[in-house]
Amino acid sequence: MARIISGYGSLLLAAMGQTLLLALLGLVFASVLGMFFGLLSVVRNKACNVIAQIFVDVIRGVPLLVLAYFIFFGVPYAANNILHIPVTLSALQAGTICLALNCGAYMAEIIRAGIQSVDVGQMEAARSLGLPWWRAMQRVILPQAIRTMIPSIINQFIITLKDTSILSAIGFPELVNTAKNVVANTFMSFQTWGIVAVMYLIVITILSRVAKIVERRLSRGRER
C-alpha cells in the first residue's frame, strides 16, 4: 500500500485531476443541454416536445460505453471516409461530448419533472397579469422548480462523476485508466483499486456535503 502511494501517488492524483476535469466539462455542457431540452419539453409546442422526447429516449436507450465508442471511433470514421471531412476527436473531446449528452438527457428529464411539479396555477396567475411565458418561467416557475430539482441534480452530478470511469475505454487518462497501468506495473491490484475506491469516495463525499449546504441555502426562509 505504502509503495503504491509513494511510487504512484502523484500519478493517481494527477489522474484524479483529469477525472475531475472531464466531469466538470461534461457537467457544464450537460447543464446547458439539459436546460435546453428540459424547456423544450414543457413549451406549448408539440414539435418541440417530440424533439426533446426523442433526444432523451435515444440517449437513455444507449449504454454510455456504446455512446463513447460511437463518438470516439464511429463519428470520426464516418466523417473521414463517408463525408470526406477530416475530423479527429481527442479522448477528452469525445469524453466530454459523451458525458454532456448522457448527463444532459437525464438532466432534461429532471428539469422537465421539476417544472411540471410546480402547480399550473402559478403559470396561469403570472400570465393573467400580462407576463409573457418566458418571463413567468424565469420569475415564478423556475425559482420554485429548482428547489425540487436540486437533490436529483446533485445525484445526477455524482453519477456523472463516476461515469467518467467508463471513458477509460477510449483511452482517456483518467483515474481508472491510470490505475490499470499501475496494476500492470506492480501487480498490486488489491491495494491499487482500494486506493482508487477511497479516492472516489472522498471526492464524492465532499461533493455531496457541498451540495447539501447549497440545498439548504436555497430553501432557507421559504417554507411552504
Partner 1 sequence: MAERDKRCKIRITNLRKNFGELEVLKGISTEVTEGEVVVIIGPSGSGKSTFLRCINRLETFEGGQIVVDGVDIADHRTDINQLRERVGMVFQHFNLFANMNVLRNLTLAPVDLKKTTVSEAQDRALQMLRKVGLEDKILSYPAQLSGGQKQRVAIARALCMNPDIMLFDEPTSALDPEMVGEVLQVMKQLAADGMTMMIVTHEIGFAREVADRVLFMDDGRIVEEGTPEEIFTRPKEPRTIDFLNKVL
Given 132, 151, 171, 194, the residue binding partner 1 (CB under 8 A): 132
150 binds partner 1 (CB under 8 A): no
Is residue 125 involved in binding partner 1 (CB under 8 A)? Answer: yes
> Do residues 65 and 166 touch, judged by C-beta distance below 8 A?
yes
For position 224 contacting partner 1 by CB under 8 A, the verdict is yes
In the bound state with partner 1, the residue whose beta carbon lies nearer, of 74 and 143, is: 143
144 makes contact with partner 1 (CB under 8 A): yes
131 part of the interface to partner 1, by CB under 8 A: yes
State which residue, 139 or 209, has the beta carbon closest to partner 1. 139
The reply to whether 191 sits near partner 1 by the rule CB under 8 A is no
Q: Enumerate residues 104-123 that contact partner 1 by CB under 8 A.
A: 119, 121-122
Burial of 220 (0-12, 13-18, 19+ CB in 10 A): exposed
| Residues 6+ positions from 200 with CB-CB distance below 8 Å | 161, 162, 175
Q: Record the cell numbers describing residue 185, joined without a space.
A: 506495473
Whose CA is closest to 102, among 138, 144, 55, 145? 55
Which residues lie near partner 1 (CB under 8 A)?
119, 121-122, 124-132, 135, 139-140, 143-144, 221-224
